[in-house]
Amino acid sequence: MKITVVGAGNVGATCANCIAQKELANEVIIVDIKDGLSEGKALDMWQTAPINYYDTRVKGVTNDYAATAGSEVVVITSGLPRKPGMSRDDLIATNAGIVKSVTENVIAHSPDAIIIIVSNPLDVMTYAAFLTAKKASNKVFGMAGVLDTARYRAFLAEELNVSPKDIQALLMGGHGDTMVPLPRYTTVAGIPVTDLIEEDKLNAIIERTKFGGGELVNLMGTSAWYAPGAAAAQMVEAIVRDQKRIFPVCALLNGEYGMKDIFLGVPVVLGKNGIEKVIEVKLNTEEMELLKGSAEAVKSVMKVLDEMNILS
């Protein structure tokens, strides 16, 4: 088993480190365009193996996609990070070109790989990778919902002073300000969260979740990495161990929720074949309207990308 992470920045390195420590593969390959960066980070990680007791070999390469040949799963984190005052949409042209090039190289050496996109703007970069890869949509999808629900659950655990392990939540829609957290599908050890928290506090947590990425950018001057990297690694684990985990994932819709030809965050069953099923939960009128609004926001950015003709 070989897993490749493209991009040795903070998110990619964190993801690779989590994958290695979980021993999800015999070998983890980290690829980057900056000479020596992936080699150095991989060497540093490998030197933790005797301390953290894992056997996964970690190898870094500079622009050498031949080293990635035969990868079962590839996580693409490449692209520019957001800076303060920069919207995700500002990144479209540059990052779409990067994702296109990376995806072409990945497919050339690992045609059967399942591809997970982490690059921003997430929904549209997943769309770009799908068009470039020319693979079935269950094999190309994006990481967003796992991260967003983790933030939502972390905030709830803090407010309620309970273990985050006991909080289950569902969040749908685009990765960004129009995401749709669903309190009706949020529970604490099986107890509806609405029974445990006042409505105004819950609404405040939902709003904080929607802007969770921006909050971290404002604090640090760059995008988050610990939680995004760990979230992508959790998706990899579900795939390589065929866990059949139910996660919100940025997936291509083919009629589900009355939508087609759009990548949007929805709950799916994740296993060895990638997305094994898209789950259609029952949404009330208000929830469906919010999801449609989120979809329209994603479609508008997809249209911007289409009009750039980068992928033609």
List the binding residues: 7-12, 32, 82, 88, 95, 118-120, 151
Active-site residue flag, 109: no
Catalytic annotation, pick one of 2, 41, 153, 175: 175
Binding residues for NAD(+): 7-12, 32, 95, 118-120
Q: How far apart are CA 225 and CA 223, in angstroms?
A: 7
Phi, psi angle pair for 140, to nearest 5°:
-135, 115
- Catalytic annotation, residues: 175
